[in-house]
């Protein structure tokens, strides 16, 4: 892969994006600079425990980061890592686009 990501990193990130709830959570985090779990629960039709589990998967894959602020953890999307993933996928798929022309 032609980016800062290893193939293993890219695979982990793609696997983490393999659930519709995690896509929704990531979209919400991209809309807001910082977001706590409770805010995500307000916006998405998911239980708090479910959101927490999905946040862990996204964090473990390096797609988001969490910063403890008192009794809460504030999450944000790692835009740099997401851009690296997008670049890696684009580079990988570019031969397919060229064949379609």
Predicted confidence at residue 92, as pLDDT, reads: 83
For residue range 34-76, list pLDDT tens digits in order.
999 999 999 999 999 999 999 999 999 999 999 998 899 999 9
Q: Is the pLDDT of residue 1 over 50?
A: no
Dist CA 78 CA 61 (whole Å): 11
DSSP secondary structure string, 29-84? HHHSSSEEHHHHHHHSS--HHHHHHHHHHHHHTTSEEEEEETTEEEEEE-HHHHHH
Query: Do residues 34 and 75 touch, judged by C-beta distance below 8 A?
Result: yes
Q: Is the pLDDT of residue 97 over 60?
A: no
Going along the chain from its start, the domains and CATH numbers come out as 7-90 (1.10.10.10)
Strands of the 72-77 sheet, one edge to the other: 35-36, 72-77, 64-69
């Amino acid at each position: 892969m032609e980016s800062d990501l290893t193939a293993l990193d890219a695979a982990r990130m793609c696997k983490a994006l393999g659930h519709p709830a995690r896509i929704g959570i990531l979209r919400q985090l991209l809309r807001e600079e910082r977001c706590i779990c409770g805010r995500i629960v307000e916006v998405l039709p998911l239980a708090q425990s479910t959101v927490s589990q999905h946040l862990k998967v996204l964090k473990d894959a390096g797609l988001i980061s969490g910063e403890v602020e008192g009794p809460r953890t504030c999450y944000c999307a790692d835009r740099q890592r997401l851009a690296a993933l997008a670049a890696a996928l684009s580079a990988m798929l570019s031969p397919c686009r060229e064949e379609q022309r």
